[in-house]
């Protein structure tokens, strides 16, 4: 099962599953998308506020499920990240979603939703920029996102990555923001990682915490299950008064030293300037020698 392709003239629904968002960012992004020929419906919940959150959990789940059931809404673009999307997982009607596959796009805190929906329904979801940032991202990256949703894109360039281990691998693409993804491991909200190609990124974290997260994945046997590991941008890493001393590469090399799989760092996705869209649940091929990630199938029904 795959979402139906999103083409110019179709309507995109927007809702906020996490923290509050600025209306001006949403409106600017709406204008940019509409100039490309798409229609955009901003759900009223998008501008709600409950403490730091974009409304209550009930308001959020009603907005998400409501947009999903509307026949005129062909895709759902999540407004922003932050906190508290994890709180929605126990309330999602996955059976209803499975009957009506739609593209859902977001990243950061939405890692929980993207992976859980894929795990429960089996159709791809899309790790890409949140809607509030659409007006800011580079033109080629926005077009790449829309091309994937139309089913006409087949690769992502990996020209400036750092290679930790050379190699080639195929597998199902799974992953997202490390600090959220770690909570899904070994639950029903995480698809099987056996033979997967795992991608991870994060921002504004202390490397000492990243260390614990990576060690948790190692102890759960993740690095022995997967076929390849792709690390995106780890932006704005924090340092305490007592310097941690280790670099991210040190940690990756330590925890994967027994793994004979391709591993690369600094791939163009994450919370930085680069945010190419990655289709979770899609069969892909990674070749470190060719510096590209190739999609072996479309992620949508054309």
Give every strand in the sheet of 125-127, ordered side by side.
39-42, 11-15, 73-78, 103-106, 125-127, 278-280
Residue 1: the pLDDT is: 87
Residue pointed to by tokens 């892909």: 284
E strand or H helix at 197, and its extent?
strand 196-203
Output the pLDDT for position 140: 93
> What is residue 290's predicted lDDT score, i.e. its pLDDT?
84
Q: List average pLDDT for each run of 10 residues in the chain, which is 302 residues long.
A: 96 98 98 98 98 97 97 98 94 96 97 98 97 96 96 87 95 97 95 96 94 96 97 88 87 95 95 93 93 93 92
Residue where the block lists tokens 């941690």: 244
Domain spans in the chain, listed from the N-terminal domain onward: 11-150, 155-295
Architecture of domain 155-295: 3-Layer(bba) Sandwich (3.50)
271 touches 108 (CB < 8 A): yes
pLDDT at 289 (0 to 100): 87
Q: What are phi and psi of 133, to 5 degrees?
A: -100, 0
Token pair, residue 203, equals 């921002």
* 155-295 and 11-150 share a CATH fold: no
Instruction: Give the largest CA-CA distance in the chain.
Output: 55
Give the predicted TM-score (pTM) of the model.
0.96
Q: Which residue has the tokens 């996102």?
A: 145
> Closest Cα to residue 97, out of 1, 165, 221, 215?
1
pLDDT of residue 224: 96
Neighbours of 240 (CB within 10 A): 9
Residue pair 29/134 in contact by the 8 Å Cβ criterion:
yes
DSSP structure class, residue 103: E
pLDDT of 237 reads 84
The pLDDT value given to residue 155: 87
**Domain spanning 11-150: CATH superfamily:** Murein tetrapeptidase LD-carboxypeptidase, N-terminal domain (3.40.50.10740)
């Amino acid at each position: 099962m795959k979402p139906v392709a999103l083409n110019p003239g179709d309507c995109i629904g927007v809702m906020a599953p996490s923290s509050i968002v600025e209306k001006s960012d949403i409106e600017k992004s709406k204008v940019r998308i509409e100039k490309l020929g798409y229609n955009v419906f901003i759900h009223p919940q998008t501008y709600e506020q409950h403490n730091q959150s974009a409304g209550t959990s009930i308001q959020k789940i009603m907005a998400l499920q409501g947009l999903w059931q509307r026949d005129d809404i062909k895709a759902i673009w999540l407004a922003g990240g932050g906190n508290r999307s994890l709180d929605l997982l126990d309330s999602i009607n996955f059976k209803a979603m499975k009957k009506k596959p739609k593209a859902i796009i977001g990243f950061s805190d939405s890692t929980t939703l993207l992976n859980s929906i894929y795990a429960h329904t089996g159709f791809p979801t899309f790790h890409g920029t949140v809607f509030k940032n659409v007006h800011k991202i580079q033109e080629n990256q926005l077009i790449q996102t829309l091309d994937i949703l139309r089913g006409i894109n087949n690769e992502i360039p990996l020209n400036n990555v750092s290679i930790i281990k050379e190699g080639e691998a195929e597998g199902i693409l799974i992953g997202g923001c490390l600090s959220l993804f770690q909570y899904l491991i070994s639950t029903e909200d995480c698809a099987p990682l056996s033979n997967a190609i795992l991608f991870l990124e994060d921002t504004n974290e202390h490397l000492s915490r990243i260390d614990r997260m990576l060690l948790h994945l190692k102890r759960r046997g993740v690095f022995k299950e997967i076929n390849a590991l792709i690390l995106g941008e780890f932006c704005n890493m924090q340092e305490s008064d007592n310097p941690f001393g280790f670099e991210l590469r040190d940690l990756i090399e330590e925890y994967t030293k027994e793994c004979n799989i391709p591993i690369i760092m600094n791939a163009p996705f994450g919370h930085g300037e680069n945010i190419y869209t990655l289709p979770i649940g899609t069969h892909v091929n990674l070749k470190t020698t060719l510096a590209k990630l190739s999609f072996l199938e479309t992620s949508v029904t054309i």
